Amino acid sequence: MTRRLYALCGEDRARQFSPHVWKTVMALAHKGLAHETVPLAFTEIPAVEDGATATVPLLRDGERLVRDSFDIAVYLDEAYPDRPSLFGGEGGRATARFVEAWSQSALHMAVTRIAILDIHDLLTPADRAYFRKSREARLGATLEEIAAAGAAEIADFARKLRPLRNMLRTQPFVGGDGPLFADYIVFGALQWLRTTSKARVLDPDDPVAAWFERCLDLHGGAGRSVPPA
């Protein structure tokens, strides 16, 4: 059986950059489940699987289609209970929900402001037009106006990671001695920045930087399969 993961790409189809897809890439690797990646431009997504989704990730596992990175992780734990758990139980799943809410509220908008023009520039011409129109309508400003806040976000990014930094003083991963899906959630945000922008938001001696390097090395270096921007 071939698992198929639909992923977001730019003009370079080997450069997948969606933070939510990266959560799923790491989740599949964590479970030891092989898959085929199908890279898609933004404007190609609505045509896949008979219009099954407007966003990625989308996972086909045999006859099953699963959308949304968190729902995919829950599905993988339930479908493959004999393989390493992504949550470590109901408490871990609930904690991962909190981590996801924190990551998306504290980190995702910051990455958007830092990398929005870089993301635009790595897209196909058709996707550039779609991206500009959709993001400017959603955010109520031009891409250039959004990017103007990027310098302040770079300066403030390390502060946003203080909760993670403080926790890493007592354990190597959010999941404890080893990673869980909560780690992959935050990893996805930082990997999104790594794969789209040359901006550097962490000092090399920052414990978060060391944690991110550990995450990049996980599962045979799955996170390093796409080089930095």
Residue pLDDT, tens place only, 100-151: 999 999 999 999 999 999 999 999 999 999 999 999 999 999 999 999 999 9
Q: Is pLDDT at 10 greater than 80 in this prediction?
A: yes
Helix (H, G, I), strand (E, B) or coil at 132: helix
Backbone angles phi, psi at 85, to 5 degrees: -70, 145
Distance CA 3, CA 1 (A): 6
Q: Is pLDDT at 16 greater than 90 in this prediction?
A: yes
Distance CA 198, CA 146 (A): 17
Q: Residues of the chain with pLDDT > 70: what percent?
A: 100
Distance CA 167, CA 183 (A): 12
Q: Is pLDDT at 1 greater than 80 in this prediction?
A: no
Residue pLDDT, tens place only, 157-204: 999 999 999 999 999 999 999 999 999 999 999 999 999 999 999 999
Closest CA to 96 of 26, 191, 32, 175: 175
Q: Is position 31 within any domain?
A: yes
Q: Is position 106 within any domain?
A: no
Residue pLDDT, tens place only, 31-42: 999 999 999 999
Q: How many domains does the chain have?
A: 1
Distance CA 6, CA 58 (A): 5
The CATH number assigned to the domain holding 48 equals 3.40.30.10
Q: Is position 14 within any domain?
A: yes
Closest CA to 187 of 199, 175, 198: 175
Which residues make beta-bridge pairs with 39?
7
Helix (H, G, I), strand (E, B) or coil at 13: coil
Q: Is position 25 within any domain?
A: yes
- When the pLDDT of each residue in the chain is averaged and rounded to a whole number, the result is 97
Over range 78-89, report the average pLDDT. Answer: 98
Band of residue 92 on the pLDDT scale cut at 50, 70, 90: very high
For residue 44, the model assigns a pLDDT of 98
* Enclosing domain of residue 43: 3-79
Q: Is pLDDT at 2 greater than 90 in this prediction?
A: no
Helix axes 109-121, 150-160, angle to 10 degrees: 130
Q: Is position 89 within any domain?
A: no
Q: Is position 162 within any domain?
A: no
Q: Is position 54 within any domain?
A: yes
